[in-house]
Each structure stands twice: as C-alpha cells, then as structure tokens.
Structure 1
Amino acid sequence: MIKRFSFPSTFEIALLLSLIVFLFALVLTKPEGLPHLSYGYSVLGFWKSGFWDLLEFTMQMVLILVLGHTLALSAPIDKGLRKISALIKNNTHAVLLTGTMAMAGGYLNWGFGLVLGAILARKIGEFAQENNIQINYYLVGASGYLGMLVWHGGLSGSATLKVAEQGHFLQESMGVIPINQTVFSAFNLYVNLFLIILLLIILYLLSLKKFDKNQVSLGKSGSSTHSKSKEKIGWILGLVMILVICGELFFSGDQIWASVDLNFVNFTLLALGLLFYGSLSDYVQSLSFAVKGATDIIIQFPFYAGILGMMKYSGLLVLLADDMVARSGTATFPLLSFASAAIVNFFVPSGGGQWAIQGPVMMEAAQKMGIDLPKMVMTFAYGDQLSNMLQPFWALPLLSITGIPAKEIFKYTAYFFLAATVVFGLSILIWLA
C-alpha cells in the first residue's frame, strides 16, 4: 500500500535546511588538500559555534508573540471586541470590520493582530448566529488573517526592529538603521497605504459573492477568565513602566526613532498588559496559556542560528553573496530578493529565523552593488509577509479559535496574495529599480 505524502513539520524543515547548508559548506568551501571527513567535522564545529549566537534574538521573538497574545486576551480587549461584533448588520460589515481590525492589530504587533483577528472573527460569527444574520464565516475568518500580510512593515517587524538595535548581529557589516528609514519611511508608508486600500476593495467585492449559508455551527467561546482578586499591583507596575517609556521618548530628542527597537516594543507590550489585567495572577494565568504558541520558536531558532554559524564561519555566506551579485544587477536584484524571501518563508515560517539566515546574504550582496540598505530591508520584509497568505504555519491559532478548515481560509487568502504581489512588486520596481 502506497503511503500518502505528509508535508514535513516546521521543525523537520529546519533540520533539513541544516543538512542542506552543511553539505553546501562541505562541497563549496573545503580548503584544497583537506580531507572531506576532517573538514566535515570542522563544519559541525561551525554549526555548534553558531547554535547559541541568536539567544537574545530568540527571546525577543518569543516575547513579542507571547506578550502580544496575552494582551489580546485581556478583559478590556475582550469587552471591546464584543461591542465591535454587535455593530455588524450584514456580511459586508462583518468582512470589512474584521479585515480592518486585523490589519490595524497586525500593524501594531503581529502576535496581537493574529490573535485579535481570530477572536474577532469568532465573536462576529457567534453574534451573527445568535441574531440570524447571514455571513460568509469562512471569508470573515480569512479577513482575520490579514494582520500577517502587513506585520513586517509595521511596528513589530523582526528585521526592521533588529537592524535598529545597537549591537545587532549584522551591525559590523551594515551599521544601525533606525525605523524612520524603514517602517516610517515614505516608501513603506505609501506601500502600506496602497496595499490596504486594494485589500479593502477586494474584501468588499468578495463579500458580495454568493456563499454557503450552512458553514460552521458555533458554540459559546466565552471570555477571558479573570479572578476577583483585589490585588492590583499590575496597574501600579504598568503605570510606572508607561512613565519610563514616555520619559525615554521625551528625552530622546532627535534620536527618538533610534530608541524604538524590539526591546522597546516588548517593554511597551508588557506595560500595557499589566495595566489591562491589573492583577498579577490574572496576567500570569493568560501568559501561561499564550506561551504554548511560542514552542516552535523556542526549539527552532537555535537551529537557524546553527545554519547561520555554518554559513558565516565557513565562508559560504560571502560566497553566496558574490554569486548573487554576479547573477543579477542593481535593476533585478531587489525583485529577486523579494521573490526569494517569499519562497524561503514557506520553509522557514518565522520572520526572525528567516532574517537570521537570509538577511546576511542579502545585505552583503546589496552593499556590493551599492543598493539602498533600508529599502532592501523592507524588500525582505515584504517577501516574508507575502507568502503567509499561502502557508498554514501562522494560521494555526486562527484555525483553532475559529474552527474553520484550512482549505476554506486559503481559497480567499489566495486573492490577498495576488493583490499584495502586485503592490509589492510594482513598488520595488518603481523605488528600487
């Protein structure tokens, strides 16, 4: 009996990539005269040396997901989403409202936007069911995933915030790039504006199409559980942290954008979470639930760091960058980089892990060709977020919360993928060609 093909897990893909990079390093960078067995052992040493090089980055990625998720589960957010759900009158309202909120949340923080879109889609589905409002629940769920199409150009982008950080792992080669040159650049703001307008038009048109009125029967999802503890230390601590944030921004002067990096975003998410929960025990309870969603990041990032170690210490990184320069020019390299980032995201579904592997090669090649580095960082970001619309890794929380089958989501997100490909591709051609 022939076994059906089973797509490998993301962890298995990380291991497969490790093996591929090991073999490339062994074949392409082995010094002449050195036995393969001896050099293979050296490459394994490079792998081990790099294994823990990204520990700080790993923790930052874990926190940005977990703290954003916890904030989305807070009582004020839950209450607000219930009120928003009650605003819908028809299918078009439901679709546009969910898509808009998901994109707004995703722009602020990818973990927050992902969970916010999923919870809102669920609550709108429940409200529509209770009040006999006919909605295309599958399209509403797909709209709730749109935060993952704008996140890397927003305030929690892995690459954009990492390169804005003093001492980041590529600082020696490319320096520090503050977010006013990436996230808040005119280039990125215009791209996001055009993308959001186009997506809202597509949502409107899709909402007018006929749909199956017997989709998913929803039970009550309930709200976040909060104790009646009178202990409100979280409010005090959250207020103190907000004061520290405001003071840091106020005294930054002309360097205000340089102070906004991954650590700043995580500190702000933690402060807001403590304020919204008030009770430390309630906050920790929701945090414990949210941590489960970070399991893949925790175990896989060291392997991505190991891949980077093999590429960096063997010389494969420079070799690949030189090859990219030789095979492309300043006119084609940005588009090729955009396409490669979208493709690699299918196999490395973490913006942070992908930046650790692909970022050094892209930046090395861009410098050799004299291409604007901040715009190349955004080119990578666009490619990374684009293919989220076709791969299921980050959709898993949404699918779980909404109860919608993956195939019903992706038949709509394919439209979003095509629209974003046009916007990103034309933007890169206009501004970088």
Structure 2
Amino acid sequence: MSSTYASAPAPVEGDAPGGRGLARLAYRFTAISEKWFPDAFVFVALALVVVVVANLATGAQPLEIADAFGKGFWTLIPFTMQMALVAITGYVVATSGPCTRLIARLASVPTSSRGAVAWVAFITMSASYLNWALSLVLGGLLVRAIARRTDIKVDYRAAGAAAYLGLGATWALGLSSSAAMLQANPASLPKSISDISGVIPLSQTIFLWQSIVMLLIIAAMAITIAYFSAPQGAQIKTAEDMGCDVTEANTKEQKQTRPGEWLEFNFILPALVVLLAAGYAYVEFSTNGVLATISNLNNYNFFFLMIGLLLHGNIRSFLTAVTKAVPTTAGVIIQFPFYAAIAALLTQVPGSDGVTISHHISHLFVSIANTSIFPVVIGVYSSILGFLVPSGGGKWIIEAPYVLQTAADLNAHMGWAIEVYNAAEALPNLINPFWMLPLLGVLGLRAKDLVGFCFTQLIFAFPLVMFLLWVLAPAANP
C-alpha cells in the first residue's frame, strides 16, 4: 500500500471544528506529517539499518549479521500471505451485492446529524472486530450512503473520522488481530518468538474477560466523543461543501457476452464450492469447537473467502472484487519479509558477550518496570513506535521477542502482554495517515480532513487505555 501523501495546505480559522483548540492543533500536525513523512517502507529500511548498527555495536560479526538477515527474510511467508488475505477477504465481503444493500438499510437508521456520526462509529467498530479491512470499506460506503440523504445534514468530515475508528480504536482487540492470531498459530509463529512464549491461544488474549471489558469501554468512549465532537448547524460541512461526489457509483451488472462465460456468471459453481466449505466447517466446529476453529488463521481466512464467494453469487463478480482488493496488500507483501529479517537480527545474532539485542532491550525494560507498571511502560513505548512503524503484524514481530521476554522475566501474564500491545497499537493509527488511505479513497477526502476529529479521540483514548491496561491486568500466567 502506498503511503505517499499530497502536501496539505496550512489550516486556517474555521478549517477545524470550532476553528481552535485541540482540533486546530491536530490539523497543523497533520499538515506537517503529510508534507514531511516519507513512505512507510522508508521506516522499514531505517529500522533494518539501526538494528544492523546495534548488532555491530555489541561486537557481532558482520558475516553473522548478513547470514541472519538472509535466513530470516523468508521465515514469515505463510503469515504474510495470511495477512494479505485478511485485507482481500474483508474488501470482497464489503463490496458484495448483499452487503451493499445492507449498507443502504443501515444508512436509513439515524435520525439526527450527531446520531448519524455516532452510528457510523458503532457500525465500523463492530465490523472491525471481525475484520479490519471490512470496517474500512464498509464504513466509507456507509458514510457516502448517509451523505446522500436529504432529510438530515451530516458533517462529512466527522462521519469520515467515525468510519476510521475501527482502525483507530478496536481492530487489534478483535479477530483480525495480527499479534494474537500469530501467537495462536504454531505453523506461522517464528522460532525466535515461539522459543520465548510458545503458542498462546486466543482464550488467553482477545477472549480474556479483561480484554473484552477493555474493548467495550474503549468503544463506548469513542462513540460518545464522536457524538459530542460532531459539528452542528452552521459548523457542518457536507460532502457537497467538501467538493466530494457521493452519487452512487455505476454498478451496472456485468453480462455474459459469449457461451464460454456461462459458468462465470452462474451461481452453480459458487454454490457447490460453498457447500463443500460448509461441510468442512461442520466437521471443524463439531470436532474442535468454534473457538479453536476460528483461532486458526487459515480457517478464519477460509470462512471469510467462502462468505465473499457466496455473497457475490458468481465467479466473475467475485474475481472482479478480488482484483480490486489486491493492490491494498502491497505494503504487507513487501514489508513483512523485512520485518522477519529484523526479528532474526534482534534474536539470533549474539554480541561479543554472547547476548542478543533482544535480551539487552528486555533487561532494560525489566530494570525500569515491575509487574504492576509493566503494561503501562510497554503500552506507552508501543504506541509511540506505532506511529513510525504503522503495521500491527510487522511491528509485533519486531517487538515480540523482547516484550514477551520481559513478561517472562517479570512473571507477568503473557497473553495480557499481547493485549497491551494490541490496545496500544491502535492508538497511533488515529493520527497516522497510512491506514487511512483506503478510506480516504472511498470518501474522496484527504487525511487533514479527518485527523482533527481523530486527534480529539486520541486525547481521551490514550490516558483511558493506559489506565485500563494497568487496572485490568490479570495475574501471572496460570
């Protein structure tokens, strides 16, 4: 995914809601980030250089460093493909005919301007629990559908920011959490991480009661802020005011033009494939149970893919959606191998004292934290790093060795260490334009149009999340 942004003009009085305060500050911050922040891949390359230099500083041999880089590079290929499919399947489901009709129904629910913004926040955060890509596309289409209504006047910027809350508030605490899914799948787990923690099931991460309570509290607060921060009256800027065309796209159904295309436009083959998939689902659910089945990332993607095929109803429509979704996975495909190599350099290259960089970092955390404040220390660190490395899965691969090692050294709950990462990981998304790109493409807006509202969310979310990470921390691993 490209993250090259157009330069935004400096904000002026009236650009931000209310024209002053936190939102105006956020607009200035976003204008600077859009102008000066390079593509996300630059941060990957810089991280690699920093880790290599750190290895050299510890006395590691150059050829050992180069060997670890090459051998570690391809160790995450299964997980890379799995994460790419998370994005593809979410997009395919969101753009299907039934989902489009569902969006039209959802758009008719709210009866007020602020209520519409809060409703978008609720829907997108609910969708993000299932799939983060689904929440982005569905949220953008929902905002466009609401903007087409003539009976209520809704601020297009505030609604667009609400559509981003799935990524900025809750996605990492849901079923598409890269970190939780990676730790629960032994086939995808790099040896550098499994040697420290072993496999950690979802029952010890996203399905901890503490994690669910934290999710509900964060979502409730985000919806409340979305409601009260939405402009009213003369402050409202509609899609028309923003120069955005929200008319329904040309959805003229593709037609069969030659006999050989008959099976491409027929429901027979999709029905047979989905029927076979249903049989597999029955066997898996009856044998292993629902939780164990969906904990397997291959199963998770498999079910979403089959649902997408069923909802599209024919092969041509399904493949068209897949083709449109593939470009959104470019960042994942090219960056994850570098993250794997960085993880290898952190965990597999000993310095002159025989200790790896990962152990040096974990010892640093142990020296400044204890079991009580460990969640807050890791949460603050991870949220700051997340602005520079905007990839939940890739960043976890880098952080996991020393975060989990620190948890082990402090006898802290391993699963909660992952949820600390997950909750903190979502926070920088609120002011990082990287993951906004798919949504911005749907809405026809720029990052600066949304971040004023998202920054307001961050001001409240950061202290709340840190408090919850501390107060809800479970006891040490059973």
Q: Which residue does 2:26 correspond to in 1?
A: none
Is structure 2 residue 44 aligned with structure 1 residue 53?
no
**Alpha-carbon spacing, 1:45–1:111, altered in 2? closer, same or farther (3 Å):** same
Q: Tell me, what secondary structure is at the counterpart of 1:107?
A: helix
Q: Which residue does 1:82 correspond to in 2?
A: 104
Q: Tell me, what secondary structure is at the counterpart of 2:472?
A: helix
Q: Among residues 130, 155, 161, which one is paired with 2:181 in the alignment?
A: 161
Structure 2 matches for 1:294-313, cutoff 5 A? 294-313=329-348
Structure 1 stretches of 5 or more lacking a match? 31-38
What TM-score comes out, normalization by structure 2 length? Answer: 0.83
The 8 Å contact of residues 152 and 381 in structure 1, kept in 2 or not, is answered as yes
**Alpha-carbon spacing, 1:332–1:356, altered in 2? closer, same or farther (3 Å):** same
Residues 134-168 of structure 1, C-alpha deviations (whole Å, 9 max, x = no match)? 21110000000011120110111011111111242
What's the CA shift for 1:351?
0.8
Q: Among residues 302, 306, 322, which one is paired with 1:271 in the alignment?
A: 306
* Alignment partners' CA distance in 1, 2:461 and 2:297: 26
Is structure 2 residue 270 aligned with structure 1 residue 234?
yes
**Alpha-carbon spacing, 1:135–1:256, altered in 2? closer, same or farther (3 Å):** closer
* Alignment partners' CA distance in 2, 1:236 and 1:397: 33
The 8 Å contact of residues 137 and 438 in structure 2, kept in 1 or not, is answered as yes
* Alignment partners' CA distance in 2, 1:266 and 1:226: 27
Is structure 2 residue 447 aligned with structure 1 residue 406?
yes
Residues 169-205 of structure 1, C-alpha deviations (whole Å, 9 max, x = no match)? 2223212221122111110111011112112221221
**Alpha-carbon spacing, 1:71–1:403, altered in 2? closer, same or farther (3 Å):** same
Is structure 2 residue 243 aligned with structure 1 residue 216?
yes
Residues 257-312 of structure 1, C-alpha deviations (whole Å, 9 max, x = no match)? 36523212111111111111121221111101100101111111111111112112
Moved more, 161-170 or 146-155: 161-170
Is structure 2 residue 422 aligned with structure 1 residue 381?
yes
* Alignment partners' CA distance in 2, 1:431 and 1:86: 38
Please tell me the root mean square deviation across aligned C-alpha atoms, in Å: 2.0
Moved more, 244-253 or 372-381: 244-253
**Alpha-carbon spacing, 1:302–1:217, altered in 2? closer, same or farther (3 Å):** closer
* Alignment partners' CA distance in 2, 1:372 and 1:225: 53
**Alpha-carbon spacing, 1:45–1:226, altered in 2? closer, same or farther (3 Å):** farther
* Alignment partners' CA distance in 2, 1:417 and 1:313: 37
Q: Tell me, what secondary structure is at the counterpart of 1:335?
A: helix
The 8 Å contact of residues 266 and 315 in structure 2, kept in 1 or not, is answered as no
* Alignment partners' CA distance in 1, 2:368 and 2:58: 17
Moved more, 309-318 or 138-147: 309-318
Q: Which residue does 1:34 correspond to in 2?
A: none
Q: Tell me, what secondary structure is at the counterpart of 1:163?
A: helix
Q: Tell me, what secondary structure is at the counterpart of 2:433?
A: coil
Code of the residue aligned with 2:131 in structure 1: it is N
Residues 86-105 of structure 1, C-alpha deviations (whole Å, 9 max, x = no match)? 33433123212211111111
Q: Tell me, what secondary structure is at the counterpart of 1:330?
A: coil
Residues 195-239 of structure 1, C-alpha deviations (whole Å, 9 max, x = no match)? 121122212212364524433342424165643422431122123
Structure 2 matches for 1:185-196, cutoff 5 A? 185-196=208-219
Is structure 2 residue 279 aligned with structure 1 residue 243?
yes
Q: Which residue does 1:175 correspond to in 2?
A: 198
Q: Tell me, what secondary structure is at the counterpart of 1:284?
A: helix
* Alignment partners' CA distance in 2, 1:56 and 1:138: 38
Q: Among residues 135, 139, 153, which one is paired with 1:134 in the alignment?
A: 153
Q: Which residue does 1:261 correspond to in 2?
A: 296
* Alignment partners' CA distance in 2, 1:16 and 1:224: 43
Q: Tell me the number of residue pairs that the alignment of Structure 1 and Structure 2 aligns.
A: 419
Q: Which residue does 2:370 correspond to in 1?
A: 329
**Alpha-carbon spacing, 1:29–1:249, altered in 2? closer, same or farther (3 Å):** farther
Is structure 2 residue 354 aligned with structure 1 residue 354?
no
Residues 376-426 of structure 1, C-alpha deviations (whole Å, 9 max, x = no match)? 110010111111111011101111110122112000011222232233111
The 8 Å contact of residues 429 and 435 in structure 2, kept in 1 or not, is answered as yes
**Alpha-carbon spacing, 1:427–1:219, altered in 2? closer, same or farther (3 Å):** closer
Moved more, 258-267 or 102-111: 258-267
* Alignment partners' CA distance in 2, 1:224 and 1:72: 14
The 8 Å contact of residues 50 and 309 in structure 1, kept in 2 or not, is answered as yes
* Alignment partners' CA distance in 1, 2:90 and 2:294: 20
**Alpha-carbon spacing, 1:203–1:282, altered in 2? closer, same or farther (3 Å):** same
* Alignment partners' CA distance in 2, 1:207 and 1:271: 38
**Alpha-carbon spacing, 1:316–1:123, altered in 2? closer, same or farther (3 Å):** same
Code of the residue aligned with 2:230 in structure 1: it is S
Code of the residue aligned with 1:134 in structure 2: it is K
Q: Which residue does 2:165 correspond to in 1?
A: 146
Q: Which residue does 1:110 correspond to in 2?
A: 132
Moved more, 205-214 or 91-100: 205-214
